[in-house]
Amino acid sequence: MIKRSRLRPLRTLGHRVTKRIWRLGAGARFFGLTLISSGESFRRFHLIIREVYFTGVLSLIIILVSAFFVGMVLALQGYNTLQRYGSSEAIGVLVALALVRELGPVVTALLFAGRAGTAITAEIGLMKATEQLSAMEMMAVNPISRVIAPRFWAGVIAMPILATIFSMVGILGGYLVAVPLIGVDAGAFWSQMQANVDWRLDIVNGVIKSLVFGVACTMIALFEGYDAPPTAEGVSSATTRTVVTSSLTVLILDFVLTSFMISV
């Protein structure tokens, strides 16, 4: 007969796997409920606009600064490599493609998870801990449609806009390093970019990516807050989980989406 202590690791593993699957199911149900309860948010669009301000507009500073430096670094690194092959004029294409296809959506999503995602989780978690969500329920107001759905759609709307701004500012940063600083021809910088960046394959795909990341990051942040134990420790752990889960999800989704987009 196998000793009980020998079975303990197996039991712990089983418990953890079951817990993860249960949370995945609960998250899927929460996502479904949010979509079903979204009608009210669109009828009262000002609720979504208000949240776009909190999640999107207030994230602008970190997005602008990060994009500017990412663009400048890309230009420096790109020029360093391209000049060895005598194609330093292609620096504009390199910066633009890297930003529009990958760095714009991905870095924006990671910054969004760290800035807006944690704020959403902490806010919802504290609303739960201070019984504000229960109070809403008792006032016959559905918290999913009044609190969750507007924040969800605000995240979905804000993310592609932020990613677009990220790419634009990044390109500007790259231009400032490549043209005035290094001395690449401005005409070559812009014309090569215009000729080689494809509307559908590059720009539309980038926007699709940022939309998907917006859904994932916002939903993770909202679910973690809604599911957080109503204690200080519970909210703190939920906030940490938001950043970790969102970052990993974004990177995994990026690989999946890229492989689909390249194979199509």
Q: Output the CA torsion sign for 71, 257, 36, 238.
A: negative
198 binds other proteins (CB under 8 A): no
* 180 vs 125: CA distance, rounded Å: 49
CB of 44 to other proteins, least distance (A): 10
Nearer to other proteins, 128 or 209 (CB): 128
Residue closer to other proteins (CB basis): 141 or 186: 141
Identity of residue 28: A
Applying CB under 8 A, does 134 fall inside the site for other proteins?
Answer: yes
112-131: contacts with other proteins (CB under 8 A): 126-127, 130-131
30 touches other proteins (CB under 8 A): no
Question: What's the closest the beta carbon of residue 17 comes to other proteins, in angstroms?
Answer: 22
Please count the CA atoms within 13 angstroms of the CA of 127 that sit on its side-chain side.
22
- Among positions 23, 89, 146, 258, the unique one binding other proteins when judged by CB under 8 A: 146
Say what the alpha-carbon torsion angle 63, 59, 219, 128 is, to the nearest 10 degrees: 150
Give long-range contacts, CB 8 A cutoff, 24+ apart: 79-86: 79/177, 79/178, 79/182, 79/184
Exactly one of 1, 2, 138, 264 binds other proteins (CB under 8 A); which one? 138
Residue ranges that bind other proteins, judged by CB under 8 A: 126-127, 130-132, 134-135, 137-142, 146
